[in-house]
Amino acid sequence: MDDNKPVESGSATAPTPSKQKVWDAPTRLVHWTLVVCIGLSWWTVENKRMDIHYWSGLTALGLIVFRVYWGFVGPETARFAQFLKGPRTVFTYLGKLFRPDYRASFGHNPLGALSVIALLLAVAIQVGLGLFASDTSYVSSGPLSNLVDYETSEDITELHEDFFNVLLFVIGLHIAAIAFYLVVKRTNLVGPMITGSRKADHVEGPPAGIAPISWVRLLIGMLLAAGVVWLVAR
């Protein structure tokens, strides 16, 4: 057999993948676990289960720490640098949104990125306030409440309770945007956040999608998140 025989045209061309990998498992896990934590935190307050509320808040803290870290070292679609754009890019995207040739963005679109950042900030503020809050009704206090005086802690507790309405508003906008893309643009944003993949036709980005995650970086992020929670809770 002649190893130098030229390969026939087209025989070495790799087939186009039918699925495009958009979201890595850690990003998806953080997303849905935060959803559970927010719902659980609300339920525990309503049912006076502040012992569970305490740990759901600390879990949310660890998730936020990991997500911020992952926003710098994770796969392409998880990185802030990939989806955070300036005003000009956002307005340009809005101009293309209703065109017939509209294609789904690879990861967060410029407008959706604002929603993601708003959500992360809102959750971070809510969790941060909870760390310093105290609740004499249920004899429960945040793990850092001892760092401030009682009156300050009481004021922070009221802010913690009131700011939850702001968080709900931001979540409502996020859900409304998802519904818009599903109904108007016929683009399912929830499915890929569950499976990690979507159909590879008429989309941006490489056909195969994101590269495999780095297990070393993942381990570092997990240790970082766990370390921050341990330092706060001890």
Measured distance CA(131)–CA(80) in Å, rounded = 26
Structural domain range at position 61: 19-233
The total number of structural domains that make up the chain: 1
CATH of the domain at 117: 1.20.950
**Residue 56, in any domain of the structure:** yes
The model carries a pTM of 0.88
**Residue 2, in any domain of the structure:** no
**Residue 8, in any domain of the structure:** no
**Residue 3, in any domain of the structure:** no
**Residue 123, in any domain of the structure:** yes
Q: pLDDT by residue for the chain (234 residues), tens digit each?
A: 444 444 444 445 555 568 899 999 999 999 999 999 999 999 999 999 999 999 999 999 999 999 999 999 999 999 999 999 899 999 998 888 888 888 888 999 998 999 999 999 999 999 999 999 987 654 578 999 999 998 999 999 999 999 999 999 999 999 999 999 999 988 899 999 999 998 877 678 888 899 999 999 999 999 999 999 999 998
**Residue 1, in any domain of the structure:** no
**Residue 130, in any domain of the structure:** yes
Measured distance CA(54)–CA(59) in Å, rounded = 9
**Residue 13, in any domain of the structure:** no
Measured distance CA(49)–CA(161) in Å, rounded = 15
